[in-house]
Amino acid sequence: MYEYYPLLVVGGVIGLFSLCFIIAYFTIKNKKEAVGFDRNMKDGEIISRLLKYAKPYWKNFLFVGFIMLFSIAYDIISPLIVGWIEEQVKSDFELGPLFAAVAVYAGILIVSLVCTYIQAIVLQKTGQKILSKLREDLFVHIESLSHEQLNLIPVGKLVTRVTNDTNAISMMFTNILVNLVKNCFIIIGIFVAMLCLNFELTLMVLCFVPFIVLFTVVFRKFSRKAYRKVKDGTTDINTYLSENLSGIKITQIFNREERKMNEFEEKNRNLGSAKQQQIFVFGIFRPMVYMLYISSVLCLLYLGGKGYIDQTVFLGQTLTSGTIVTFYMYISKFFNPIQSLAEQFNWLQSAFASAEKIFTVFDIEPKIVDAPDAIDVDTIEGDIEFKNVWFSYVPGEWVLKDVSFHIKPKETVAFVGSTGSGKSTILSLICRNYDIQRGQILIDGIDIKKIKISSLRKHFGQMLQDVFLFSGTIRSNIVLREEGLSDEEIMKVCKYVNADSFINKFENGLDEVVQERGNNFSAGQRQLLSFARTIAHKPSVMILDEATANIDTETELLIQDSLEKMMNIGTMLIVAHRLSTIQHADNIILLSKGEIVEQGTHQELLKQKGRYYQLYMLQYNKDQVRAS
């Protein structure tokens, strides 16, 4: 065997450096970040941000690390026991020492299995707590984003981030990180044990490590790309489904089922292709590692058998049959962690790819935030003033141009004008759904930017054209903000806005089930329920944005009666195309291309015979034609 020493020494030295490299390579990687919404992050940044969520549970991980030592000890000690037993059986032996050795082996095995069970339970509980906190923080962050930001991000993408991507991270906390550390210690421990047992055979094993490093580097490069494609494909499908299931009625009306199916099949094929690429990358790596394992076993049998026959002695180490058996088990335990690293690394790439997507959402800074000196406002009288307000959704394309007006408390003011004139924009700006670029908006003489957003909005009640009802019951949809309301108070509010006219017809009354988006209610019923939940929390300022559009005549009469009652509650701002609904307003402001062109009462504007008069006569003539 001496003729192989130079080759083994050179290969062993290279293998030793490669072993150090492969352990470090699992935790360090240099990579440039990409620019864009879904940016690529460095592994160190991802791990650092994920560990912030694990930090409160460091005692749990410390406990897991402690009991993990027993499993590591089993992997290192058990081959030595088996090798000793083999040598005892080969020669004259006594049953007593043999039974003792077997008992020690069984005891270590039982302790290792118990520790592994405890480790799994602790990690699962801890991991789920971490993921729960991560989901909550992500949901809260999404809620803090402005309307403009939420409009830019597809709903399906956000749903994927909160559900699929957080689930992918689950394995990282419950299995991957701990086992990565465990396998690294096992590799180091086994290497030291082999070195002490037989230097020559250890050098032989190390000769295979550079090939493992090469395979790992290549695998890491392609696996992350494959996982990103899978994540992107999953997000693409979820986004597509979210949009098209919401608009499935339009698809059916226009008979576009086949086209939509073809579009879905294309996205499904893209995801399937990405999955196949992921499987292909992983399917090559593990067999390669297994091939190295078999090759090392063959070399062990050859060199070990030759050394045993020749009774080779090197550095005082004699090669025995027990040594060969021990090394056979050590080689298996040396390559098994590396093979496990492949599977764990497979999951790790998935977790990192998901973490990139999640932290990209976290990195979106909310555009509408409280000023450092923002204050809470307990009460609002409803005095609203716009001072030379300029606003644009797209830089340079002004939606409002130098708009100024003053609304006194308890006044009812209506905004009219053609589509795109800026009516709804004004209502959004008052609630700080968007921030203006120039000018000032005052509530009771206070700049709204100086008032905390939550404090400002709690004094507003909004009734929109597209009423959104949550799945649940009529009661749960009315008491969105005032959950302490009794049934008597709720029904009093419903009666006030004429919603009791249909609620009392239901067998379950307030407990009537509301399906998704309130699809089991008519447009008029949904609108009356929105009136009820608005009045329930007694707002100081009420906003009606096309609240009477697309309503049948009978329901419109109920809504008109409700509006007249609501005008006595507080300041009311109305956007309406039907001028018949705003004739009793204290002030009507006519907008055109973002500028105020006329304002006054209904009668005053008719006397001016300007644009409002023309608009009124146009609607009046249309109504006359319909009536005839």
- Answer whether 197's CB lies under 8 Å from 326's CB: yes
Same domain, 440 and 346: no
What is the residue range of 314's domain? 9-31+41-362
- Residues 358 and 388 grouped into a single domain: no
Length of the chain counted residue by residue: 628
Q: Give the pLDDT of residue 40.
A: 67
197 Cβ neighbours under 8 A, 6+ residues apart: 80, 317, 323, 326, 327, 330
Relative orientation angle of helices 177-197 and 199-206, to the nearest 10 degrees: 140
Question: Is-contact 612 606, C-beta < 8 A?
Answer: yes
Using a pLDDT cut of 70, give the percent of the chain over it.
Answer: 83
pLDDT in tens, 8-17: 455 555 555 5
Beta-bridge partners for 460 = 541
Considering the chain, what percentage of its residues have pLDDT values greater than 90?
10
CA distances from 309 to 117, 306, 318, 327, 502 (A): 44, 5, 11, 17, 98
Name the pLDDT band for 42 (thresholds 50, 70, 90). Answer: confident
Are the C-beta atoms of residues 52 and 137 closer than 8 Å to each other? no
- Which residues are CB-contacts of 329 (< 8 A; sequence separation ≥ 6)? 78, 79, 82, 83
DSSP string, 495-561: HHTTTHHHHTTSTTGGG-EE-GGGTTS-HHHHHHHHHHHHHHT--SEEEEESTTTT--HHHHHHHHH
Residue 500 lies in a domain: no
**Structural domain tally of the chain?**
2
pLDDT exceeds 80 at position 482: no
* DSSP assignment string, 203-244: HHHHTTHHHHHHHHHHHHHHHHHHHHHHHHHHHHHHHHHHHH
Which residue has 């990579």 as its token pair?
A: 31
Contact 314, 200 (CB under 8 A): yes
Residue 438 in domain: yes
Whether 18 is covered by a domain: the verdict is yes
Rounded Cα distance between 179 and 343, Å, is 11
In a domain, 259, yes or no: yes
Question: What's the pLDDT at 400?
Answer: 93
Terminal C-alpha separation, the chain: 112
Q: Are residues 150 and 295 in the same domain?
A: yes
Which of 303, 327, 362 is at the close of a domain?
362
pLDDT band at 255 (very low <50, low <70, confident <90, very high): confident
> Which of 15-24, 185-194, 318-327, 369-378 ranks highest by mean pLDDT?
369-378
Going by the DSSP 8-state scheme, the letter that residue 55 receives in this structure is G
Domain CATH number, residue 143: 1.20.1560.10
HEC profile for 123-143? HHHHHHHHHHHHHHHHHHHHH
Q: What is the pLDDT of residues 144-200, one digit of tens each?
A: 888 888 888 877 788 888 887 888 787 777 777 778 788 888 888 888 888 888 777
pLDDT, greater one: 381 or 28: 381
Q: 406-446: per-residue pLDDT in tens? A: 999 989 899 998 888 888 899 989 989 899 999 999 999 99
The residue ranking higher by pLDDT, 354 or 16, is 354
Side-chain half-sphere of 305: how many Cα atoms within 13 Å?
Answer: 6
Query: What would you report as the CA-atom Rg of the chain, rounded to the nearest whole angstrom?
Result: 36
Residue that terminates a domain, selected from 362, 394, 412: 362
Above 80 in pLDDT, residue 337?
Answer: no
- Within 13 Å and on the Cβ side, how many CA atoms surround 240? 16
pLDDT of residue 28 exceeding 60: no
For residues 496 and 116, what is the distance between their CA atoms, to the nearest angstrom? 64
Query: Considering the domain boundaries, does residue 305 fall inside one?
Result: yes
